[in-house]
Amino acid sequence: MVTNMFDYARSSRRADRRTLVFLLVAFTLVTGVFVAACLLGQLGSTPAAPIPGRMFGGADGHGPAGDGPLSDAIGGLGDQHGGGAVRGSQPQPATENVIVALSGDTSDPLKPGDSSSLDITFTNPSTLPVTLTGIQVTIVSVSAPNQTHLLHCTAADYAIRQVPADFEVTVPAAAIVSLSSLGIPSASWPAVAMVNAARDQRGCSGATVTFDYSSEGSGS
């Protein structure tokens, strides 16, 4: 009987220990889950980092600004369509690229020793008047259908008289004018002459001389 009571008490203590271990494990698990939930809640409530960029302004092109490549792309579209600009500044007008065309010829037949003035025509399509200086005429080619292997005709058979070094001409905006229409005396015009060479120049009969014109200019 005494032995049975001892075994029962020992069995009871073993049961109590198992219950205590189970409660400790359960408490640990519940505490871990609670801590993990708290951490996840804090991470989920962290505000997202702001995206670099610029904020849209009003229709007058002004507004708060940030920095970033995204703003550059949006700003380009805003300026292009004339809507609410992003950068807050108005687009600057582009500088006009002015090109004045020069042309001119003569139909006077030339003999060795003769010359003919070139009444240059100027075409200015821009909205600005342009002053031209340093006008130069060069011979590009000579077409001589009557030359032979004995009777040659080349650019050496011709010479160009250039305009004076201080010569300048102002071409009005959106105009086509010539040296003669501007009232410039023919003595200041360029001219082409046929050289009187010490050889037979019959190969130049019916020849066509092609010129190239160049100059420097500035708009006003």
Asked if the structure places residue 195 within a domain, the reply is yes
In this predicted model, what pLDDT tens digit does every residue of 50-72 receive, in sequence order?
434 333 333 343 344 444 433 33
Query: Tell me, what CATH number does 202's domain have?
Result: 2.60.40
Q: Token match 């010569």: residue?
A: 167
Query: First and final CA of the chain: distance in angstroms?
Result: 130
Section 171-200 average pLDDT? 96
**205: in domain:** yes
Q: Give pLDDT, residue 219.
A: 75
- Which structural domain range is residue 193 located in? 101-219
Most confident option among 33-37, 56-60, 72-76? 33-37
Contact 163/190 with Cβ under 8 angstroms?
A: yes
Q: Which of 193, 214, 212 is nearest to 138 (CA)?
A: 212
Q: Which of 9-13, 89-93, 186-190 has the highest mean pLDDT?
A: 186-190
Q: How many domains does the chain have?
A: 1
Q: Which residue has the higher pLDDT, 116 or 14?
A: 116
**Where does the pLDDT of residue 23 fall: very low under 50, low under 70, confident under 90, or very high at 90 and above?**
low
Which residues lie below 8 Å from residue 112, measured CB to CB, with a gap of 6+? 194, 195, 196, 197, 201
Instruction: Tell me if 65 is assigned to some domain.
Output: no
Distance CA 80, CA 91 (A): 9
Task: Give the model confidence (pLDDT) of 194-217 as tens digits.
Answer: 999 999 999 999 999 999 999 998
| 36 in a structural domain | no
Residue 154 lies in a domain: yes
